[in-house]
Amino acid sequence: MVDVPALVAQAREGRPRAVARLISLVEGASPQLREVMAALAPLTGNAYVVGLTGSPGVGKSTSTSALVSAYRRAGKRVGVLAVDPSSPFSGGALLGDRVRMSEHASDPGVYIRSMATRGHLGGLAWSAPQAIRVLDAAGCDVILVETVGVGQSEVEIASQADTSVVLLAPGMGDGIQAAKAGILEIGDVYVVNKADRDGADATARELNHMLGLGEARAPGDWRPPIVKTVAARGEGVDEVVEALEKHRAWMEERGVLAERRRARAAREVETIAVTALRERIGDLHGDRRLDALAERITAGTLDPYAAADELIASLTGQ
């Protein structure tokens, strides 16, 4: 058994191995999962969670890396969660150089973790929020959650961030693709990356039009900004950070941040509860309680609805 309090203390000191170990414990439905989650609870709620999503090829990893650099310059501790089945991020903290993330691999103020969809009980909707809790409790000031944004679950994860960044690139018919994937509605900040290429202005205009940004809004409503970047050269990245900080300040002022976090917590509880109930019912195959109920139904002394009520009641008595 793992000494959870010691592990949590080490993680808070910034030891990457302790963080890695904790994430593995919460990812893998370990018997100590509950102990870990209970230990983390009082330490969470400080990190600012930013979701980054967009189609492959828009430069997500490069943008994430550039944002890490910007936050590091500001002295922040940064966590990166790369949620992508096809991600170049591997297991712990090592990265392919093609994503320019290697510069952060030896930085103790940065923790990078990849997350694949395979094999996780309940999928990423279940495990990503847990990993965010670990990074939060470990003292990260900012957590960047990078998702592919093509599948339903990726969009769901991105939409659970405090602030969602939607990335596009010019000349990819990307606006329409993004609209199809359902990621256009979730952006709090839009980034047109590779802005040195032809068509960047056209993409920004198209986006502006699709989002109805030219239309009147109620005073005090958030108007998502569109920021142009060349992430590979770091251009425009400070403007992205500025837009994020503005959105955060706007959310704090209006109570939106607390509201989003409550909604995220509620979804997390629901996901855990549904998974747990399904498992409990699954476990009942061949169980005496279910057999006994079935026996009474076939004898005509109980109807299936009353039996289902009894079953549900017995599930909670466990």
List interacting residues with a copy of itself (CB under 8 A): 33-34, 37-38, 40-45, 129-130, 133, 258, 261-263, 265-266, 268-270, 272-274, 276-278, 281, 284, 290-291, 293-295, 297-308, 311-313, 315-316
Contact between 59 and 231 under an 8 Å Cβ cutoff? The reply is yes
Query: What single DSSP character describes residue 215?
Result: S
45/108 with CB nearer a copy of itself: 45
254/262 with CB nearer a copy of itself: 262
Nearest approach, Cβ of residue 267 and a copy of itself (Å): 9
209/278 with CB nearer a copy of itself: 278
- Residue 249: alpha-carbon gap to chain centroid: 21
Nearest approach, Cβ of residue 56 and a copy of itself (Å): 31
Nearest approach, Cβ of residue 161 and a copy of itself (Å): 15
6/308 with CB nearer a copy of itself: 308
Nearest approach, Cβ of residue 84 and a copy of itself (Å): 24
Token code pair at residue 213:
């940004």
Residue located via tokens 């142009």: 228
86/301 with CB nearer a copy of itself: 301
Token code pair at residue 214:
């030219």
Comparing CA positions, the residue from 241, 246, 233, 242 lying closest to residue 59 is 233
Nearest approach, Cβ of residue 208 and a copy of itself (Å): 33
Token code pair at residue 86:
């096809």
Return the HEC string of 65-95.
HHHHHHHHHCCCCEEEEEECCCCCCECCCEC
Contact between 45 and 78 under an 8 Å Cβ cutoff? The reply is no
Backbone angles phi, psi at 5, to 5 degrees: -60, -40
**Could you give the CA distance from residue 123 to residue 131 in angstroms, rounded to a whole number?**
13
Nearest approach, Cβ of residue 275 and a copy of itself (Å): 8
Contact between 115 and 131 under an 8 Å Cβ cutoff? The reply is yes
Nearest approach, Cβ of residue 202 and a copy of itself (Å): 40
Nearest approach, Cβ of residue 301 and a copy of itself (Å): 7
Contact between 260 and 129 under an 8 Å Cβ cutoff? The reply is no
77/133 with CB nearer a copy of itself: 133
Backbone angles phi, psi at 164, to 5 degrees: -105, 125
Comparing CA positions, the residue from 209, 156, 172, 138 lying closest to residue 55 is 172
179/315 with CB nearer a copy of itself: 315
201/253 with CB nearer a copy of itself: 253
How many other C-beta atoms can be found within 10 angstroms of the C-beta atom of residue 173? 10
* Count of positions (residues) in the chain: 318
